[in-house]
Amino acid sequence: MYRYLLIVLVSGLMSVVSGQHGVGAGWGDRVELPLPQGSNSVRGFLYKNSVAFSNNKRVIFMNNEDTGGGIYYTYSYDGKTWSDPVQFKPVNVPGINSTKIYRDNRDRLHVVWARPKPKALYYTQMDSALNVVIDSMRIASSPRNNSYNGVYLTADLNDRLHVMWHEGDSKTEITECYYSRSTDSGESWSAPQLISKDDGKASAFPRGQFGAYGGDSLMIAWRDNVSFSPENWDLHFVTSTDGGVSWSEVTNLNSSSDFQGDPDVVVDPGGRIHMVYHQYPQSDPYNGMRIVYGYSDDFGKSWKPSPQFKNVISDDSRSELAEGTHYQISTGTLWTFWKDESERKGGGGINIKAAFSTDRGESWSTPEYITDFGNSPIGFKAILVLPDGSVGLNYEVPNYPDSGLYRIFYRERTPVVTAIKEPDVRQPRSFTLAQNSPNPFNPSTVLSFTLKRAGEVRLSVYDVRGRRIKTLVRGWKNAGVYRVTFEAGGLAAGVYYYRLVSGGESMVKKMILLP
């Protein structure tokens, strides 16, 4: 199967890739991914084209740019030697584009893709051997303005799938944002729901990542056009308290004359909402572009450390397009990635940088370079996370090795060592359900539990009469440590019980909701 033993390109080997600044400590060598048979050019995808399974199998999807086209994937068990690319071809529906992938904690690979004719959005599921398990389930059809764009796919720890997108071209048309979810592993999907304001203005690139979270309190944010001349966008968001069944009215995050673009939203295991985006002042749109960050513990009512998002986490130089923001449960590390264009005016290239936080966003590391490719404008970056907390990033390089061609490269970073890593990654020796914290509480509290082996899990809340009020966790979970936020909005003050059941074992704890 492995025909390509890829050559690791060494900085300085060729003038086109001559080194300038190196890469950050912990990042390994870059590896060029193989091409589909007969192809000379491949490209990546916006947001998410790579995953890693629990057995360390890394998978990357790519777009064949040569005659015949098509979506292909390659895989590797070590990040260095990659398989011959295989074409991804759903059986029931021919012709695909805009592919997004996501691997859940049951090692299922979820794939969302668009069909060009007739226009529709579809879902396919594959197993870890990359066999198609569910083929071509339709999510949406007949898009507004005749196209699907900015498609984003995520799942939560309750085995719910969430897809969001905008319809139309945000550069030339009035676009709106939509959402759909599945609660039966992709077999069926809710009717597409408009989540942006239908106000004659462009709304685009909705995002919300819930892969580290097991509660029902969700947020999706996007950029919303204020004017095209001068170009100005604000950020809007909606929230859900029922896992995506319904969504709130739209909130303007931080109305400003500054351009605010493409927010990346992550909900961590404790329910904290993290937001990263790029902004620049109208007075200096080129040199003033920076990556900013904020978090909210009250569902978006307030943001820290700066309500106006003045907390810059990039270097003091032109930076844009934050993507790949991810919370690693195994290490407690929050990552984000962006394009660094500080060398562009001097004839240099566009590189990728990253920063991480090990204290849920309270502080951030010094940004580190991931790429060093001379004057090439690196693009379409996407990450995967390995079981031990290592991070893998793939990105495309244009005009390489010749003008008009593209290649995809990959490199990995060793895990960030944090104080909470050891208790989180060791194999639990017992089945435990911790006392909720805080207790008593109002309006929310965190429930923690450990599983000594993988299996079906259910965590539910009951009133004093034994009636089930809410199921917080339901589905297959690997052995490990889990934290879930319980939102008690709408419940009467008093005593409640929560019960954990898995593998023939169960535990019950009492908690008190204050008035």
The 3-class secondary structure across 278-339, one letter per residue, is: EEECCCCCCCCCEEEEEEECCCCCCCECCCCCCCECCCCCCEEEEEEEEEECCCCEEEEEEE
Q: Which two tokens stand for residue 280?
A: 């620049």
Q: Helix count (H) and strand count (E) of the chain?
A: 1, 37
Strand order in the sheet with 109-115: 97-103, 109-115, 120-126, 132-141
The amino acid that residue 215 corresponds to is: G
Q: Which two tokens stand for residue 1?
A: 């199967």
Decide if 243 is inside a domain: no
Decide if 92 is inside a domain: no
Alpha carbon 501 to its chain's center: 29
Q: Which two tokens stand for residue 256?
A: 């400003």
Q: Which two tokens stand for residue 21?
A: 């600044």
Class of residue 371 by CB neighbours under 10 A (exposed 0-12, middle 13-18, buried 19+): buried
Could you state, in chain order, the average pLDDT of each consecutive group of 10 residues for the chain (515 residues)? 38 40 89 94 90 95 87 96 93 74 92 90 95 94 90 92 93 90 96 94 94 91 84 91 95 87 92 92 83 93 91 86 86 90 74 92 93 80 89 92 92 78 48 89 90 86 87 85 88 93 85 93
Q: Which residues pair with 124 in a beta bridge?
A: 111
Decide if 179 is inside a domain: no
Domain span at 506 = 427-513
CA distance 399 to 12: 18
Furthest C-alpha separation in the chain = 74
CA distance 279 to 259: 5
DSSP string, 244-268: TSS----EES---SSEEEEEEEEE-
CA distance 159 to 155: 6
Decide if 503 is inside a domain: yes
Decide if 452 is inside a domain: yes
Residues 36-93 have pLDDT tens digits of: 999 999 998 888 999 999 999 999 999 998 877 889 999 999 999 999 999 998 766 6
3-state secondary structure of 499: strand
Alpha helices in 400-513 (DSSP H): 421-425
CATH at residue 480: 2.60.40.1930
Cis omega (within 30 of 0) for bond into 85:
no
Decide if 450 is inside a domain: yes
Helix (H) or strand (E) holding 381: strand 379-385
Residues 93-114 have pLDDT tens digits of: 666 777 999 999 889 999 999 9
- Which pLDDT score is estimated for 424? 41
The CA-atom distances, in angstroms, between 25 and each of 13, 29, 38, 58, 360 are: 21, 11, 37, 22, 22
- Which pLDDT score is estimated for 183? 95
Decide if 478 is inside a domain: yes
Q: Which two tokens stand for residue 329?
A: 């449960």
Number of domains the chain is built from: 1
Decide if 505 is inside a domain: yes
Class of residue 462 by CB neighbours under 10 A (exposed 0-12, middle 13-18, buried 19+): middle
